[in-house]
Amino acid sequence: MSGTMETIGFIGIGNMGSPMALNLSKAGFPVVVYDVNTAKAVKFAADNGVSAASGLADLGARCSIVVTMLPDGHVVRKVMLGAADDGLAAHLKPGALVIDMSSADPIGTRELGGMLKGKSIDLIDAPVSGGVARAHDGTLTIMVGGDEPAAIERAKPVLAGMGKQIFETGPLGSGHAMKALNNYVAAAGFAAASEALIVGERFGLDQGIMVDIMRTSTGRNFATDVTLKPHVVEGAFASGFALALLAKDVKIAADLAEGLSLDMPLARTTSKMWLTARDDLEQGVDNTAAYKAWKARASR
């Protein structure tokens, strides 16, 4: 069966990318991995029975479909185009398909799509939601944007190897817009719940009981159901998604609203809260650690 399946190049072997690439292999796809950390990619390949590319030129020569799972759209563009049009796109064959599963600025995605189209390469954006746990389970929610229906149909078997719910959101960039807006809603919920815990603790309420009440009441959201108890109340602060990445996503949502000439004060305020928390804390901390920054500021 695998002999009839297209070879998938997977770029970005991080907390999310590693299980996603592994699930593609389990689904029967030949997988070639690449990461800027060459040792990580080589080890992942050896541990999981897939192949590691020696570089972008090698990956481009071997793969007809490429999945990117990178920190942001700027990194995706650098990988694709390089410093002087010497990136991956220069090594892909005409007719190749790039599936960008990173979180990125939707306007930048549309611009990159136009550049790749000039090289006879199709681009779709297919960011994910569900976190590390669902990346491992292969049950991610995937939001797909693209201008070419045939490219989306071609991508669907690949996406089905990593996700359970696949939504077509519209033209190129719409997946990235939806991902940013979804993460804005999640971030606003976490921020509101965090402030409630800070106030409640100062008043004398037990934070564990507060979470139990909120998760069975009208204040229920993803934060109350999943992250607050283990990562804030119990102090793990290790959900697997970096604070800087979530702050970036919320800013994309706020900037999108501004770019559309929409006055969205909550989006602006939420973005400012997350950017401030990012700047207050050390680099690389988990997004749930934002609670620490907000608590410290609340007592000033």
The residues carrying an active-site annotation are 179
List 33's β-bridge partners, or say none: 10, 52
Count of residues in the chain: 300
Q: Dihedral sign, CA of 134, 137, 143, 145?
A: positive
Are 146 and 169 a contacting pair, CB within 8 Å? no
- Using the structure block, give the residue that is written with the tokens 């990988």: 79
Q: How far are the Cα atoms of 166, 169, 211 from residue 236, in angstroms, in the given order?
A: 31, 35, 16
What does the alpha-carbon distance between residue 31 and residue 54 come to, in Å, rounded to a whole number?
Answer: 14
Bridge partners of 221?
none
Kind and range of the H or E element at 222? helix 222-222
Q: How far apart are the C-alpha atoms of 99 and 106, rounded to whole Å?
A: 14
